[in-house]
Structure formats: structure tokens, C-alpha cells
């Protein structure tokens, strides 16, 4: 049987380390704070924001919730970000996506100070990641690396296939893996012979957003599989369930796999809080 990599347990452990770091910062006179900006009333975004604020509270991180109407206009959002950038009491800024139509998300994210960009999406942080210098790393790729570290000691020479080339997961996790001296193949919807490429991999990171794309015969015995996908599906009887990009029930021959839910997801929020603490620590220098 493949071992399950427990993202929930690892997220709790990271949360405890984050809380300890917060206590140290507070003893030094710094109160870490994360500003979360929500535009409009998207139901899913509302849930995500509540979860993030709740996790901040557990770790002792201050949360500053800023809400704007869906029709606020792009300039109002940019002005708010400018205000948060200039506020020394704010160490991290997160703009919840998606944004309403008519607002350029790229322009908005670029407006966040790189030092407060706890999502790691700003071009400056992307550039720092690509050159291996110190920047804030996107939360999901950072969480993936921590999950992999729990089952892999040495990445040098490993053949790793990343399925999906998004700026949020695929590209940044590939760069993190390259820093560890792995040999990385990034694949996408136009990749030919994807099952053959996957079968040769020591590690598969599936981040395509395609339910059950990765089947058992795609995975060689002893491989490690990280499933980033999360899709809500409705069964024939009308019941809904969350599934990943991998057919986990077919992966008993793998060395280790992440479950969905309970794998990558919890680590993403835990890494967001960790990034907020990192930003607060760097603000002291």
C-alpha cells in the first residue's frame, strides 16, 4: 500500500512553528499582521477568507479584513493597496481572487509591495525564485516542497514530471525542484505521450485541474505522487464529492501519495501564514 502523506498533520506542525515565531516577534515589539482584501461577495471567496482569518487567529497573527463592493472600480482597489503598502503595521497583503469583471488582476497583484506579497505572485518575487535568491515563495509550491521533504531526502538526479504549467503551481514548483538538482519535465495540455513521460518519473506533481487524469498505469512502482488538483464532482445519486487529478485508488504500488482532500490544501494556508511571519521578520532588518 502506498503511504499517505498527511497534509493536515504537517500543516498543524507548521502552524505550531509559526505560532512560536509569532511569539518571538511580539516579544521583540513586532505584531505580525495580514491584510486580506475581498472585492464583491463571491461565495467561495467568502469561505476562503473566513478560513484564512481563522487560521491567523490561531497562530496569533493579526488579520485586517478590507472589503470593497463589486462595482468599486479598479482605481479604488489600487488606492487601497497603496494605503496598505505604506502602513508599517501591515506585513502581508493578500487580494482574494477571482476579482470582478473589469478589474485587471495582473495589474492589481503587481501593485502589492514585493516585501508584503505573501502569495508570492509579484514579478519581483517570481524573478527571485527563478534566480534562487530570497523572495516570498508562492504558498502552494512551498507546501508541495514541504510535503515532498517528508518522504525524499535527496532530490539530486531524480526524474520529476510536473503536470500543468500554471504561474501559481506548475512553473514555480518546477523552479524549486530545479534548485534541488532534480531533472524536471513540465508538461501541459499539448504535451505528447504524457502517460509515457509520467511512467518514467520518480515523482509526479499533478496540477492540471483534470479529475482522475493520472491513472494507475501512469505511475511506476515506488514513485511519489503529489496531487494538487481539487474538483467537486456530483455522483449519479446527486451526492457531491471532492476529487483530485489522480485516481488514488489505483496507486497502491506508489511509494507515497497525497490524499484529496487533506494533502496539499491544508499546507497552502499554513504556508501563507508562514510567509506572513517571514515578511514580518524581514521588515525588522
Q: Which CATH class is domain 29-118?
A: alpha beta
Q: pLDDT exceeding 90 applies to what percent of the chain?
A: 93
Give the pLDDT confidence of 200-245 residue by residue, as tens digits: 999 999 999 999 999 999 999 999 999 999 998 888 787 888 999 9
Q: Which of 40-44, 241-245, 276-280 has the highest mean pLDDT?
A: 276-280
Judge if 29-118 and 139-265 fold alike in CATH terms. Answer: yes
Whether 20 is a known active-site residue: answer: no
Give the pLDDT confidence of 95-116 residue by residue, as tens digits: 999 999 999 999 999 999 999 9
Catalytic residue among 116, 117, 119, 171: 119
Instruction: Say which residue the cell 507548521 belongs to.
Output: 14
Whether 235 is a known active-site residue: answer: no
Query: What pTM, to 2 d.p., does this model score?
Result: 0.95
pLDDT value at position 240?
85
CATH number of 139-265: 3.40.50.720
**For the chain, which residues make up each domain, given as ranges?**
29-118, 139-265
Whether 96 is a known active-site residue: answer: yes
Give the pLDDT confidence of 179-190 residue by residue, as tens digits: 999 999 999 999
pLDDT value at position 234?
82
Average confidence (pLDDT) over 277-284: 97
pLDDT value at position 187?
98
Catalytic residue among 52, 116, 171, 255: 52
Least reliable range by pLDDT among 20-24, 26-30, 42-46, 84-88: 42-46
Give the pLDDT confidence of 122-132 residue by residue, as tens digits: 999 999 999 99
Amino acid at each position: 500500500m502506498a503511504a499517505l502523506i498527511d497534509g493536515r498533520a504537517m500543516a498543524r506542525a507548521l502552524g505550531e512553528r509559526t505560532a512560536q515565531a509569532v511569539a518571538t516577534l511580539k516579544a521583540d515589539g513586532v505584531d505580525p499582521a495580514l491584510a486580506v482584501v475581498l472585492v464583491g461577495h463571491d461565495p467561495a471567496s467568502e469561505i476562503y477568507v473566513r478560513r484564512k482569518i481563522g487560521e491567523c487567529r490561531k497562530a496569533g497573527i493579526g488579520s485586517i479584513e478590507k472589503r470593497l463592493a463589486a462595482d468599486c472600480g479598479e482605481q479604488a482597489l489600487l488606492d487601497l493597496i497603496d494605503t496598505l503598502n505604506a502602513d508599517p503595521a501591515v506585513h502581508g497583503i493578500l487580494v482574494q481572487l477571482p476579482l470582478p469583471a473589469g478589474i485587471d488582476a495582473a495589474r492589481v497583484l503587481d501593485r502589492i509591495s514585493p516585501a508584503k506579497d505573501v502569495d508570492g505572485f509579484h514579478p519581483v518575487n517570481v524573478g527571485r525564485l527563478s534566480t534562487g535568491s530570497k523572495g516570498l515563495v508562492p504558498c502552494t509550491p512551498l507546501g508541495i516542497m514541504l510535503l515532498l521533504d517528508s518522504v525524499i531526502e535527496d532530490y539530486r538526479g531524480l526524474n520529476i514530471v510536473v503536470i500543468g504549467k500554471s504561474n501559481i503551481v506548475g512553473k514555480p514548483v518546477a523552479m524549486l525542484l530545479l534548485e534541488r538538482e532534480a531533472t524536471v519535465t513540465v508538461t501541459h495540455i499539448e504535451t505528447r505521450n504524457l502517460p509515457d513521460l509520467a511512467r518514467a518519473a520518480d515523482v509526479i506533481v499533478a496540477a492540471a485541474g483534470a479529475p482522475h487524469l493520472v491513472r494507475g498505469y501512469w505511475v511506476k512502482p515506488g514513485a511519489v505522487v503529489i496531487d494538487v488538483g481539487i474538483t467537486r464532482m456530483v455522483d449519479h445519486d446527486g451526492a457531491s464529492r471532492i476529487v483530485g487529478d489522480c485516481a488514488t485508488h489505483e496507486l497502491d504500488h506508489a511509494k507515497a501519495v497525497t490524499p484529496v482532500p487533506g494533502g496539499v490544501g491544508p499546507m497552502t494556508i499554513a504556508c501563507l501564514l508562514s510567509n506572513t511571519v517571514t515578511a514580518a521578520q524581514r521588515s525588522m532588518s
